[in-house]
Amino acid sequence: MTRPRQTIIYLAYACISLFACTNETEFEIKNDKIRSLIKVGSDSINAQAYFPDRDVRNYLHGEFNDFYKEREYNLAWLNFDEPEKWADELLEALDSAPEHGLRSESYETKKIEELLNSIYNIESQKEKRKKWRKKLIKTKKFKEKMREEDTVRFKDIAQLDFLLTASYLTYGSHLLSGRIDPNEKEEWFAPRRKNNLSEHLTNAIEQNDIKGSLHALEPSLKQYTLLQEYLIHIRKILNRPIAEIQQPLRPDDKSYEVVKAKKRLTFLKDIEISMNDSAFYDKSTIDAVRQFQHINGLEETGEIDQRTLSLLNKPLSYWIDKIETNMERMRWLQRDFEDEYILINIPAYELKVMRKNNVALSMKVIVGTRYKKTPVFSDTIEYVVFNPSWTVPTKIAIEDMLPRLKKEDDYLSTRNLRLYEGWSVNAKELQQKDVDWDCVDSSNWKYRIVQAPGPKNSLGRIKFMMPNSQFIYLHDTPAHHLFSLKERSFSHGCIRVEKPLELAELILNWDRKKTVRYLEAEITQSVVLKNKLPVHIVYWSAWVSEDGIINFRDDIYNHDQDQQKKIKQKEKIIAHVNEQD
């Protein structure tokens, strides 16, 4: 090879190397600038600005900082040429937030879209996202813009990356454990699900599976998925015009009001009705009304009475709110249910023993009144007591019994109640007449009242103990006539069960003969379960039954109303914060 040719080749190699080095150096300079911005911006104090939801801000800004620290302050969602494809995947996931009863706008999607368009000179709405890469590659103006080392632009890129990370963490937190803390309510005890979200996001990016990672944070409870299907269905028909029914209706009625009733009955996909323009209240209409009444826990008369009319005239937004409210509650559950457990649904006044997703036993229950609510919590039954005595809680003794002790001289004796001077084991037993009840009030109450075992005992013949700080347990009752009523909120908070013998036999694996033998002994005996049985006391005013039918119930404790009010207040605050930015 001649020397001139060698020289040309060496010069060519040198130029290529120099160009490569220049490009590499340029990239490193850009990257260092971005990393410096990210390091400062992801500091715990600065990071708080990216979380308009104050309730999650307190702990997510730490996750935010950990996430960027772990990746050495490099960009997560973007590079200098274009957004990473998982950024698009996140935006698609945020677009589907309403399917979970959440609001896309709560995750700063508008601001993210604006920054994407500003930085990359593209429209980033849903229908445009698939064209990102083609347009980015072909746009000369974009390439020229990319070569600019404008500090403002770097700040925008860092801010956009922060917004995407904060949106993922916030949305993930909402899917994982809900938007509001249930434990702020006095009657709610729900340890919330936890996850290391910064690590979860790191893994999602490494595996290029943002949607899958978010799906993994959703409740695994089958009920959640079933309610979600109904939510999507009702949202599809949300804007369908449906006229209100003006009056109650009965079978054989004939009027245009019947036509309106038929149309309203079709919004729930479980109700079967022959749709036609007939104004006649026929058998098909009767059956459909009965289905609607069954779904709502009403008397199944087939007539559109005043109560049925009131529910039928509810706007579709009412049913959406109802479903979304209960989906939120399912996000509060710490885990999925076990293979075997007891489920008690307060608004349904119902208990079910579940074994591998099948109902082994179901029965009616009586729950606390509106003023003495049954709390929501999970625990385990540890033992069963046959022929229990009842030590009256001080609160019940003062609030319910003291006024009657002052008026009725034989109040204790007629109810097989025994009075003790104090709470010690050796406390002296007293007669009702030994106490000047007119001088007794809540400030000087010191007495213990005990009801001996027997058929009139307030706990009945069996109680099911799950020791807890709320002093709540399951028990029999002498007042079995109350189970014939539709609405059964009569207790002081404990749960009265309709079929105590069947429940005891099922969880102890006994036959009726053995159960009766223990009862007829007429002495108090405790039997410890070989395996503790989980009990979940829930407040579901919307759920899907085993036959796949949606069910709704009255909000007997106003928990729905309180929860919806809190969530709307939160959404209003978030919207205000987003407008200020």
Instruction: Give, as one character, the DSSP assignment of residue 457.
Output: -
Helix (H) or strand (E) holding 354: strand 350-355
Answer yes or no: are the C-beta atoms of 259 and 285 closer than 8 Å.
Answer: no
Region of 357 on the Ramachandran plot (φ > 0 left; ψ -120 to 50 alpha; else beta): left
- Dihedral of the CA atoms 56, 62, 64, 65 (nearest 10)? 160
Answer yes or no: are the C-beta atoms of 291 and 184 closer than 8 Å.
Answer: no
Residue 577: CB atoms within 10 A of its CB come to 15
Distance CA 413, CA 430 (A): 12
Residues, the chain: 581
* C-alpha gyration radius of the chain: 33
Instruction: Give, as one character, the DSSP assignment of residue 427.
Output: P
**CA separation (Å) from 317 to 4, 19, 231, 236, 487?**
83, 62, 10, 12, 25
- Dihedral of the CA atoms 300, 301, 303, 308 (nearest 10)? -40
Tokens of 175: 């899917």
What counts of helices (H) and strands (E) characterise the chain?
A: 21, 15
In the block, residue with structure tokens 């109350």: 482
Region of 509 on the Ramachandran plot (φ > 0 left; ψ -120 to 50 alpha; else beta): left
Answer yes or no: are the C-beta atoms of 228 and 100 closer than 8 Å.
Answer: yes
Answer yes or no: are the C-beta atoms of 448 and 391 closer than 8 Å.
Answer: yes
Q: Does the annotation mark 475 as catalytic?
A: yes
Tokens of 538: 């829930």
**Among the residues of 377-511, which ranges form H helices?**
394-396, 402-407, 500-508
Bridge partner list, 451: 390, 417
Residue 452: CB atoms within 10 A of its CB come to 15
Per-state percent for the chain, helix, strand, coil, to nearest 5 = 50, 15, 35
Which is the catalytic residue, given 61, 174, 200, 475? 475
String of b and e for 285-324 (b: at least 16 CB within 10 Å)?
A: bbebbbbbbbbbbbeeebbbbeebbebbbeebeebbbbbb
In the block, residue with structure tokens 């949606």: 550
Q: Does the annotation mark 15 as catalytic?
A: no
Q: Using alpha carbons only, what angle is made at residue 145 by residues 139 and 149, rounded to the nearest 5 degrees?
A: 155
Which is the catalytic residue, given 100, 174, 494, 559? 494
Query: Annotated catalytic sites, by residue?
Result: 475, 494
